[in-house]
Amino acid sequence: MIRRSGRYYLLVIAVRDLENPRESILAEVYFNSAQPLVFPLSLIRQQAEAAKILVEEFDAWTVELPTLAELLQALSGATTTIDDFISKLGPVEQWTMKSIRRFVDGPPDKPEKQVTEPSGEWIEMYRRGESEAAVTALSERLAQDPKRPAAARIYNDRGYILYDMPDRTGASIRDLERVLALHHRTLALTLINIAVAEIDRNEFAKAIQHLNDALLITHELESVGASYLRIRLLGSHLLFARREKWEQHPANVIEAAYINLAYALTKLKGHDASLEVLQEGLELLPSSVRLKHALARWHLSQRRAVLADPLYDELAKLSVDDPDLRREIEAYRTVGRKGRRFGFRRQPSTFSSYTQPGWKGSAARLSNRPGYQWFQELSQPRDVAVIHDMRPMLKIERDVRRLLR
């Protein structure tokens, strides 16, 4: 029995008991949502493995469901009401049906209370770099003793701002941990903020748990948004693609959770463990700029520029709001590809012959010359594609040749 007719999202899952393979269950779960929901498959498999069951089939789609009264009227040609149907049952069945009906119908509808959340004043302050003023504004709101949902969001926002302020990390963590006990409706935001702090402390196992929890309680694709969220991206050997600490604005919980989860898994278990996470995120959000960028960085972190090329080409065609990300895309497609003329391969520098045994030059004579330390560095094998401007190298080479005469 349902309270209201309408569109529901149906999850069908078939599981088998691994301890007793003869037992299997086909479960149907209806969610009161007309939008597709997110079910993290990797997390479901992990939980099934821990429960010693096997997920054999998994599917979900949207369905139209009538109430029991509407179903009876449709079957009887509008001649039978639900009360008529119940009156024909036995005493036990009548009591059961009336109890279920009372439970489903619930109390009379009441207007929903408006949940007061922090206004956007702190967001503007934070955007302008006035972090201290934003923290003061949020502290003043807390001093007014707001109700639990509003207080939870305020603590979350204040903890977020405090995190990057000097000597305020401890206060930030305390605010975020306090939010967990309040169980507010946007708890996924706090779980991601705590996970980022754990990633920065190299506590990757804890971060992975919190990020999985955030994905588990985030149902709709666009259900939870935020003004700001921190994300961590894998660095690469390219100078303009080394930055790992990013801030997403405007932010999306699912994107941030998948990107941070991939980063933590890479650090804890290696690249192979994180690729599936990024691919799963792109299956859910195929047009996500952030997830495409994270996958491109994943390839670059392993020096697989050939696989990153099409992703950066695709990003260049999309609308990118983040100016830092736009600069990285343009730098890769211009400066980065100029170096591709020399090939992304490891080969000795042209100066290596000057450092081999038997070289007749005087090291002492060179050691006092400007650029000698750079010369020593350039004499090591390197990816020549990293060196985008060859003119300084050629000048050093000419200087060395003059000294050898």
Q: Is 113 exposed, middle or buried (0-12, 13-18, 19+ CB in 10 A)?
A: exposed
Of 82-86, 196-200, 223-227, 228-232, the least confident? 223-227
Average pLDDT over residues 192-209: 95
Average pLDDT over residues 38-43: 71
Of 105-109, 240-244, 251-255, the least confident? 105-109
Question: How far apart, in Å, do the first and last CA atoms of the chain sit?
Answer: 95
Of 56-60, 72-76, 158-162, 194-198, the least confident? 72-76
pLDDT band (50, 70, 90) for residue 112? very low
- Taking alpha carbons only, the member of 153, 156, 196 closest to residue 176 is 156
CA distance 14 to 270: 32
CA distance 188 to 260: 13
Domain ranges, ordered by start, for the chain: 6-105, 121-340, 346-404
What is the structure's pLDDT at 62?
84
CA distance 351 to 379: 5
Residue 58: other Cβ atoms inside 10 A: 14
pLDDT band (50, 70, 90) for residue 171? very high
Q: Is 253 exposed, middle or buried (0-12, 13-18, 19+ CB in 10 A)?
A: buried
What is the structure's pLDDT at 106?
64
Average pLDDT over residues 124-150: 89
What is the structure's pLDDT at 336?
60
Q: Across the chain, how many H-helices and E-strands are there?
A: 19, 9
Mean pLDDT of the chain: 78
Q: Is 149 exposed, middle or buried (0-12, 13-18, 19+ CB in 10 A)?
A: middle
Give the CATH number of domain 121-340: 1.25.40.10
CA distance 15 to 45: 11
Of 210-219, 278-287, 306-315, 329-338, the least confident? 329-338
